[in-house]
Structure 1
Amino acid sequence: MAKRLENKVCIITGGTSGIGRACTEAFVREGAKVVFVGRREERGREIESQLRANGADVLYVKGDLQKIEDCENVVRACVEKYGTVDVLMNNAGFGTFKPMIEYDMVKDYEEVMNLNLRAYFILIKECLKVMVPNGKGNIINLASIGGITGMPMQVSYAASKGGVIQLTRTIAVEYSKKGIRANTISPGLTITELVEAGSEVEKLLQSIVPGGNSGTAEGVANAAVFCASDETPFMTGANIVIDGGVTCGPCAPIF
């Protein structure tokens, strides 16, 4: 069977750790040519070397996506290397944890919004400049269950992820006739460097998951491959929730 992303040119942000790295690895396994982005250059170069040694066609681009010029440079570097962009996966993001009344409006609001939402907007805008003339394109935005339900102590993160979902839906409607698809993936509890397996944080978060378990970065990456493939050409504007059932509603005791 042919690889599902064979010869597709894909940009993945936040590609040096967590879900982004899992997506980078999954996309190259499926035959994609991948430009992946991250701030930590040493780690990025190391991952690039490892993937190339295994036959992958990849390019690491160092970038701080809180900066408009770095967002623009990512797309420029991709087009210079591969001539086009077929798939954009926006993944980079972070949040802070404190009561809203204590927020620093730069560190806890502006920096979160700039990375989690503004960077997505800019990267989409730049990629559309390539995709629209091509008559095709695929945009995948990583959001969170925080974008569809309340997330106490993380108000700017939740607001940014709600914005990502609405940004995606709007792009899907506005550019559907141009051959562009746009979908969102909203994970819940996922094991990454931020939430380590077996940690007290994981145990606390597992208490609200109906099955008492956790998701994996690889599981989210599998959903991203599905979205990036040509298997569902009629799917656009969708939000794939991967949360173990948390957002289904209050959980009854399990006997």
Structure 2
Amino acid sequence: MELKNKIAVITGAGSGIGRAASMKLAGNGAKVVLVDFNKEAGEKTLNLIQEQGGKGIFVHADVSKSEDVQRYVNTAIETYGRIDVFFNNAGIIQKFAPLTEVEESEFDRLISINVKGVFLGLKYVLKVMESQGSGSIINTASTAGVRSEHSVSVYSASKHAVVGLTKSAALEYVKKGIRINAICPGGVETALTNSVAEMFETSGYVPEELPNMRMGRYAAPEELAEMVAFLASDRASYMTGSVVVVDGGLTL
């Protein structure tokens, strides 16, 4: 297998793209370190991986807290000795609202997880990979990180920041054997996207414009996992700083 005995750390591993990618990487031979704030969901992913014959561990962590990030990185090193792949994936969605009605607490929550969480992951994993002289990092951005989307201004800002972090880090580490890329999903069948209709019903607010799902459906998380596995592997050996849109034509 192309990722046989590689060590992969995945944040947000308890559901959605994170769970699908964790299972895909493990299925391709990687030993996985699963990270999630939801302990039950993270352990469920680990159980699914073990049921298919994969190997890994789970670390309960809040990606927005420096001590938690250092702990999941240190646990990976203590358990497996290195980190070859880092899927820096954990994130949350915004409650749809006009910019002037976004609460400051909502702004702080989104930036803390979607931006600070990605930054801290990069900060501590890059130190490990630099000492190894190798590694592949995949950050989860969004189509909202490459174009505007209605009524999710802070979410869009957070994902634009992920794109910026990806490109800047890729430039800094391009000669150090480390590749850093981002994926931009555009509508994926997950608990997050499934909650959107409920948000509209609860709040009574519906944006003037909604994303055009040109293929007539959301992506399956497994379709994004395929791209994660590709970027993690040596097949993507000449890709760094790339922002890969996987959106079924949404941004056309």
TM over 0.5: yes
Shift of 1:52: 2.1
Shift of 1:207: 6.6
1:117-159 CA-partner distances (Å, limit 9, x unpaired): 1111111111111111111111100100000111221111100
Q: Would you say how many aligned residue pairs link Structure 1 and Structure 2?
A: 242
Shift of 1:212: 2.1
Alpha carbons 1:66, 1:111 under 8 Å: kept: no
Q: In the alignment, which residue of structure 2 is the partner of 1:104? A: 103
Alpha carbons 1:12, 1:90 under 8 Å: kept: yes
1:95 aligned onto 2:99: no
- Alpha-carbon distance in 2 for matches of 1:244, 1:54: 29
Amino acid paired to 2:243: N
For normalisation by structure 1, the TM-score amounts to 0.89
Q: In the alignment, which residue of structure 2 is the partner of 1:81? A: 79
**1:1-255 pair list within 5 angstroms:** 3-96=1-94, 97-106=96-105, 108-196=106-194, 208-248=212-252
- Alpha-carbon distance in 2 for matches of 1:242, 1:200: 25
For normalisation by structure 2, the TM-score amounts to 0.90
Q: Could you tell me the percent identity over the aligned residues? A: 38
- Alpha-carbon distance in 2 for matches of 1:207, 1:103: 20
1:234 aligns to what SS in structure 2? coil
Q: Which runs of 4+ in 1 moved over 6 A?
A: 204-207
Structure 1 unpaired stretches of 5+: 249-255
- Alpha-carbon distance in 2 for matches of 1:211, 1:120: 30
1:126 aligns to what SS in structure 2? helix
- Higher mean displacement: 109-118 or 188-197: 188-197
Shift of 1:200: 8.7
- Alpha-carbon distance in 2 for matches of 1:105, 1:232: 40
1:36 aligns to what SS in structure 2? strand
- Alpha-carbon distance in 2 for matches of 1:32, 1:176: 24
- Alpha-carbon distance in 1 for matches of 2:114, 2:251: 21
- Alpha-carbon distance in 1 for matches of 2:210, 2:21: 24
